[in-house]
Structure 1
Amino acid sequence: MTGPLASNERHRRQVLKALLWVTLVGGLFFSVVNLLHDNWPLALLELCYAGVSAYLLRLIDHTRHLQLLTAVYLVPFFSIMILAVSQAQTTFAVFAWVQTIPIICYMLLGLRLGMISSVLFVGIGLWVFSRRFWSEGWLPNLEIVTNLGLASLLIMLFAHIYEYSRLLNEKRLTELASTDTLTGLANRMKLAEVFERERAHAQRNGTPLALVFLDIDHFKQINDRFGHEVGDRALEHFAESLSQRLRVSDLLCRLGGEEFAVLLPGSNARQAQDIAEDLRARLVQNPMPLADATLPMTLSAGIAELGSDGQTLDDLLLAADRRTYAAKRAGRNQVIAWDEAPQAAPQA
């Protein structure tokens, strides 16, 4: 797992680990306290849950079912909180634990499940508390329940805002880290992430996966003749022109400088060659407009296929890059899919 999902899982794994340690230490401490108050059922329950926490701490770093483990842990944990509130031997201060429920839920379960779980368990906790400490005067009861309810609502609101902002910022940072700032295309880090996912899909389903390495011909001459500002515009024009001819499932990315790559899920080398030829023709037919003229652009491309050219992204990039330079040596403005003498292609 990579990207934002992996980051979220790491975050929740660390939060759950911290909570398990708190539960372990707190369970041992409060089991002793409840024994001193002759509250044997609650003491035994807390002692058992401390043991469960110790066991889960051994699993937390290795489990693949983090969300299931979290749910299995939280439901009894919150239930013990509410049970403690209902016990005649405990003080009203135990309700402070109920008010931690929104923070725990949002950090471990996310926005939607966090909100549902918070409303459910905090609502039950308030109802149990009001039933236990209900007095004859309605005004003091109203004041207590209103204060606790508003405080719980405020904590829930802050937890919701925090988790929403955290996810939004994480998504934004991930997009910035995986996007080329000039062209808006994916960068090499994004290519590596998507390649791992598509390779697993291809190996699981027996489908092909190809990669096209693209290099803009004579790009240095464009920079030297027109300047780097026009060179940047040429890169943007190249990215825009090629993006319009690709499928939604294809990934066009900029590797750096004038070098680009296209990942083609479901395509073999022959199909990738046809797509690359289409991109080459598209660029030839769509020169970049300048102030009073147009700037012709061409590309050289090499093809690599998962399996026959290797199993890793580096393997495919190396093979495709080798064929791209073979295309350049053969006269540029052409596509080579195999290690063989290329056929001449029309020059732009």
Structure 2
Amino acid sequence: MSSSHHHSDQHRRLVLKALLWLTLFGGVCFSAINIMRENWILAVLELSYSFISLYCLLVINRSENLRTLTIIYLVPFFTLMMVILFQPRTSFSVFAWIQTIPIIFYLLLGLRLGLWGSLLFIGIGLFAFSQRFTSDNQVTNILILANLGAAALSVTLFSHIYERSRLRNEQRLTELATTDSLTGLANRMRLADVFEREINHAKRNRTPLALVFLDIDHFKLINDRYGHKAGDKALCHFAQLLSGRLRSGDLFCRLGGEEFAVLLPNTSAEQAATIAHSLCERLAATPLELEGRPLPMTLSAGVASFGEDGELLDELMQVADRRTYSAKRTGRNRVVTEDGHEQPLAAT
């Protein structure tokens, strides 16, 4: 699960819990009131829904599909509300609950379902009001209904604007938190998020998954000789150049400094080695233009494979990192796929 989705899910889980507790106690109280008023139908409905709320409270923490649980709870909840609105023995004050419909829908179900759910149940609520409230003055009837409808639709509009703004801000913050500011590549946090998704896919479909570490050779010499601005240009050149050689489903990350990683779904260790070799060749064949002169760059790479070298991200990173440094110790500009099996490029 991605960070943004995880935080949104936790937020909605807390809101749903609060609503469940409210309807649990509210249902018990209102059913008791209706029993005293001998309104047996509403009493039974409200008491039954209290038990539904209690059940949802018991399973909410272990429920993996929060949206389904929310819909299972909300549809009967608002249906019961509409039934109450149509009852001739209920007070007109119950129509104040119409204002809560868009707030609850948007908080728990987001933009699309929030909009359609709000319009549906607000429409039914306004129709119930028009059937129950009548006076001798038709103009007065229209004005009251128009005011109630305008208030409900205003709350819907504000809820829609708020939810859309919240989602955009959340997405923007997530993007900032998971993107390397210099190169624009994904960072370590994003790698961890995507890795969780990809290992679940690999286990479920029994497909390979590989991780490649990339380290720019002699990067410290570039910084020492040309300065940190040149080093930043070298990093950006590296990121932009190699990004174009990867597939759309691959994840290219900057881990920090001159260290990078590529997560390769549906890729065996042999295929990952081939991709790593192509990246080495691409970089060696395209030097950085610095101060009007070409600056040759090379990289060393280490490959780790899910299952063979570990099942956790940290395990694969340790193996790939170790093999990368093995490549650097044995001459650089080469790919290591197994411990003790260095593969220098043919061109070097």
| Residues 344/9 of structure 1: CA separation in 2 closer, same or farther (3 Å cut) | closer
Question: Which 10-residue stretch deviates more, 118-127 or 334-343?
Answer: 334-343
CA distance in 2, matches of 1:75, 1:347: 67
Residue in 2 aligned with 1:228? 228
> Which stretch of the first structure deviates more once superposed, 295-304 or 201-210?
201-210
Residue number in structure 1 paired with 2:39: 39
CA spacing shift, 1:341–1:29, aligned 2, 3 Å: closer
User: 1:209–1:266: 8 Å Cα contact kept in structure 2?
Assistant: yes
What RMSD, in angstroms, separates the aligned Cα atoms of the two structures? 1.5
Matches of 2:193 and 2:65 in 1, distance apart?
22
Q: What's 1:270 paired with?
A: 270
Letter in 2 for 1:293: R
Is contact 1:276-1:335 (8 Å) kept?
yes
1:244 corresponds to: 244
- Counting only pairs closer than 5 Å after superposition, residues 152-163 of structure 1 correspond to structure 2 as 152-163=152-163
TM-aligned CA distance change 1:257 to 1:299, over 3 Å = same
Aligned to 2:23: 23
Work out whether residues 134 and 141 of structure 2, in 8 Å CA contact, stay in contact via their aligned partners in 1: yes
Please tell me whether the aligned partners of residues 303 and 320 of structure 1 are also in contact (alpha carbons under 8 angstroms): yes
SS at match of 1:332: coil
Maintained 8 Å contact 2:335/2:343: no
Using the TM superposition, give the Cα deviation of residue 215 of structure 1 relative to its aligned residue in structure 2, in angstroms: 0.4
**Alpha-carbon offset, residue 71 of structure 1:** 1.5
Q: Secondary structure at the match of 1:60?
A: helix
Rounded to whole Å, the distance in 1 between the matches of 2:56 and 2:42 is 21
- Give the total of aligned pairs: 348
Q: Distance in 2 between matches of 1:185 and 1:165?
A: 25
1:52 aligns with: 52
Q: In structure 2, what residue type is equivalent to 1:2?
A: S
- Deviation per residue, 1:216-273 (Å, 9 max, x gap): 0111111111111111111111000100110111111001100000111111111111
Match of 1:191 in 2: 191
Give the Å deviation of 1:344.
4.5
> 1:332, CA displacement in angstroms?
0.8
The Cα of 1:314 is off from its aligned counterpart by 1.2
CA distance in 2, matches of 1:230, 1:333: 21
Question: Per-residue displacement from partner, 1:312-348 (whole Å, max 9, x unpaired)?
Answer: 1111111111111111111111111111242544677
SS of residue paired to 1:79? helix
Q: Residue 144 of structure 1 corresponds to which residue in structure 2?
A: 144
Greater displacement, 82-91 / 275-284? 82-91
- The answer as to whether partners of 1:212 and 1:302 remain within 8 angstroms in 2 is yes
Cα gap change, 1:138 to 1:188, in 2 (>3 Å): same
TM-score (norm 2): 0.96
Structure 1's unaligned 5+ residue stretches are none
Q: Is the 8 A contact 1:333 1:346 kept in 2?
A: no
Task: For structure 2, list consecutive stretches of 5 or more residues without a partner in the other structure.
Answer: none
Cα offset, 1:65, TM superposition: 2.9
Spell out the pairing of 1:88-237 with structure 2 (5 A cutoff). 88-237=88-237
2:300 touches 2:335 (CA, 8 Å); kept in 1?
yes
Bigger CA drift: 324-333 or 71-80?
Answer: 71-80
Q: Is the 8 A contact 1:333 1:347 kept in 2?
A: no
**CA distance in structure 2 between the partners assigned to 1:311 and 1:80 by the alignment:** 49
Instruction: Decide whether the 8 Å contact of 2:217 with 2:300 is kept in 1.
Output: yes
- Match for 1:112: what amino acid? R
Q: Are the equivalent residues in 2 in contact too, given 1:182–1:232 (CA < 8 A)?
A: yes
Counterparts of 2:142 and 2:37 in 1: how far apart (Å)? 30
Q: Could you tell me which residue of structure 2 aligns to residue 82 of structure 1?
A: 82
- Measured in 2, the distance between the counterparts of 1:208 and 1:271 equals 10
Give the letter aligned to residue 122 of structure 1.
I
Local SS of the residue matching 1:308: coil
Say which SS state the counterpart of residue 262 (structure 2) adopts.
strand
More moved, 27-36 vs 264-273? 27-36
- 1:301 Cα deviation after fit: 0.6
Matched position secondary structure for 1:275: helix
Name the CA distance, whole Å, in 2 between partners of 1:266 and 1:40: 61
Name the CA distance, whole Å, in 2 between partners of 1:139 and 1:198. Answer: 62
